[in-house]
Chains A and B, each alone.
Chain A
Amino acid sequence: MSTVDPSPVLFGLTGRLRGAAFAVVLLLVLPWLIPPYQTILLSYGLIFGIAALGFNILLGYTGLLSFGHSAYFAVGAYAVAFLVKYLHVTSMELSLLGGIIASTIISGLFGAVCVRHTRIFFAVLTLALSQVLWSLALKFYWVTGGSDGLRVPTPSLLGGLIPGTGDKVLFLSRPYYYFVLVVFLASVAILWVIVNSPFGKALQAIRDNETRAEFVGIQVRRCRWLAFLISGTFTGLSGALWAPLNGLVTPDVVYWPFSGRIVFLTVLGGFRTFTGPIVGAVVFNYLETYAVATTVYWQFVLGAVLVILVMTMPAGIVGTVGRLALRIKRVT
């Protein structure tokens, strides 16, 4: 499958910049146009967007399918919960830093092990390691709260300038949304630079042909490890942002179906495009919320969507739309 991102062909750099600027302005004004509940939903979408973008560094750009990214998401989330519970850290910036450091360490360690394999063995290895963390989170209940999980109160932002007390919905739908948005935009920018850097091109070379990449002088395993590290760190950052929004961290976020969910939303948006995972995360989030609200059989709905998606539009939402647009442009 060599589906290439058609957007550079479709729109020039200025066109894409214009599109990005439009999206940013839209995200900035949306909280004033939609009800608070919708804003909180959008925050979830943006947070999962970071996780999916990070995950896609491995899947889309390096060609490695991890089935254990729940581990790094959970390390970020649990790091925030631990910092609050045991060190009484209320500053979100410090919590975020803690989450990033913890997930960098864990993904560095796990990555060093996992990149020794590729393909299905890589997937099963990442799965097994994430399950190690899951069973620890479940069994060491005196530290992690077991299956009840840990409560995460609303934090204070900007070094205490905006306190986390008071109306929770108001806090989450306004200051916290903008906090998430800033982190999200920064992550997108950083990842965009990484993907378009020589290192990013090296990753794509490895994905397309490992042997040739090696002959060109790329240190394949080292690049894969770095990609794993970056991927895990951004997924951890996403988990750290998610913890105060959700208010509760349970072992469910380490269990392997959660990894499947990260794969799901990435493929939903389209993993061969840069923006696909973001779109996938936001759409998946709405899809899930409305499926849960309308039927007890929401898993069935999600499963059916996934199966139909893979069968009929494997390029994902962004990939399919892009291809259609390209065809229309050629015809006219």
Chain B
Amino acid sequence: MVTLAIQVLNSFYYASSLFLIACGLSLIYGVMRIVNLAHGSLYALGAYVTAGAVLLAGTQPSGLVFLLLPAGAFAVAGAGAILEPSLLRPLYTRAEEYQLLVTFGLLLILEDVMRFFWGALPLFPSTPADLLGSSSILGTTYPNYNFLVIAVGFLAAALMWGFVYKTRFGVILRATSQDMRMTSALGVNVKRVYVLAFAIGCFMAGLGGAITVPITGAAMGMGVDALVLAFVVVVIGGLGSLEGALVGAIIVGFFRTLGINFFPEVELAALYLVAAVILLVRPAGLFGRP
């Protein structure tokens, strides 16, 4: 019973961080039809920026350290606002191969940018997690910081939903994703929409990295690992679907917890196999438009 509760919490923690990465990937694909292979590296960049900021602030425990957490998210959003017009905009009219290649090149570049600024050794900025301590759940201790991650993940999902479905900009965003030319003809500045959509997607990825870095730490290659898992989430939920990203993240979160407990050797293989099967029978995923 106790382990079950812990496992459920772990699954939600995992789902929360996966959602933050996957929803940006899905949003960018939905609006711009670009599969961003560098998305995992943008997540890693968010983790590194926050880790660097927290470590710079020193080991003196202070509540102010929480103000540094969003630094990664804003930095990555800023990077996105620069990258979209400079690297991606010339490619919208070109074949998909080139878009994949440019984002793959960006991935290689970002990996070394992070190595340049923060070194090849992993960073562990655990101060924020240590400050919150842990609470006892049915006699077992559980870190309070995990609750914060879960809360941020679901709050982000709610805000994102409200933003896309309840605001004027959300309407424009959805219109652009459905028919870019028509929206442009109606007087919408599509270039601006693209920059904003890309920056928002980057913001979510950066937030995902920044919020989880006090627990997982920041290490080389984390972006490359994160990207394929985000792909699995997006494929299960449906490329370009926001609800899909949330449901996909929860499914993958629970699947991984199950896998780690019952079939650790084939856990990852089974996950990719599930993604392949879903892609095969229903390429639009659970929530995507076919």
Contacts and interface: CB of A to CB of B under 8 A. Distances in A.
A297 B280 CA distance: 39
Contacts of B95: 1
Contact of A124 (B105, B108, B231): B231
Interface stretch (B71-79, B124-132, B173-181, B271-279): B271-279
Interface stretch (A111-119, A217-225, A276-284): A111-119
Nearest to B101: A310
B35 interface: yes
B272 A304 contact: no
Contacts of A307: 87, 102, 105-106, 109
Given A128-B276, A131-B228, A296-B115, A139 B268 contact: yes
16 contacts: A65-B96, A124-B35, A125-B279, A127-B231, A131-B272, A132-B276, A135-B272, A139-B266, A139-B267, A263-B101, A300-B111, A303-B104, A307-B87, A307-B102, A307-B109, A310-B98
Contact of A260 (B104, B109, B112, B232): B104
A140 B98 contact: no
B97 to A, nearest CB: 5
Given A117-B279, A128-B232, A132-B276, A314 B98 contact: yes
A120 B280 contact: no
Nearest to B99: A310
Given A131-B272, A135-B268, A135-B269, A121 B283 contact: yes
Contact of A300 (B112, B232, B264, B273): B112
Contact of A267 (B101, B239, B271): B101
B262 interface: no
Interface in B23-60: 35, 37
Given A120-B35, A300-B112, A300-B113, A128 B231 contact: yes
A264 B101 contact: yes
A128 B272 contact: yes
Contacts of A267: 97, 101
A116 B280 contact: yes
Nearest to A256: B228
Interface string B205-249: 000000000000000000010001001100100010000000000
A299 interface: yes
Contacts, number: 128
Contacts of A128: 231-232, 235, 272-273, 275-276, 279
B278 to A, nearest CB: 9
B96 A120 contact: yes
Given A139-B264, A257-B107, A303-B112, 4 more contacts: A116-B280, A119-B96, A307-B105, A310-B101
B107 A311 contact: no
Contact of B104 (A125, A264, A300, A304): A264
A67 B100 contact: yes
A41 interface: no
A304 B105 contact: yes
A124 B105 CA distance: 18
B37 A260 contact: yes
Interface residues of B, number: 45
B106 A303 contact: yes
Contacts of A106: none
B281 to A, nearest CB: 10
B7 to A, nearest CB: 21
A129 interface: yes
Contacts of B100: 65, 67, 123, 263
Contacts of B115: 296-297
Nearest to A306: B105
Interface in A282-332: 296-300, 302-307, 310-311, 314
Contacts of B108: 299-300, 302-303, 306
The 3 residue pairs across chains A and B that have the minimum distance between CB atoms: A303-B108, A306-B105, A135-B268
Contacts of A298: 112
A150 to B, nearest CB: 18
B102 A140 contact: no
A277 to B, nearest CB: 14
A59 interface: yes
Nearest to B102: A310
Nearest to A113: B280
A136 interface: yes
A259 B232 CA distance: 17
Nearest to B108: A303
A310 B228 contact: no
A302 B8 CA distance: 43
A132 to B, nearest CB: 4
B20 to A, nearest CB: 20
Interface string B126-162: 0000000000000000000000000000000000000
Contact of A297 (B91, B104, B112, B232): B112
B274 to A, nearest CB: 9
A136 B280 CA distance: 21
A299 B94 CA distance: 25
A139 B109 CA distance: 29
Contacts of B116: 297, 300
A135 B269 CA distance: 5
Contacts of B37: 260
Contacts of B87: 307
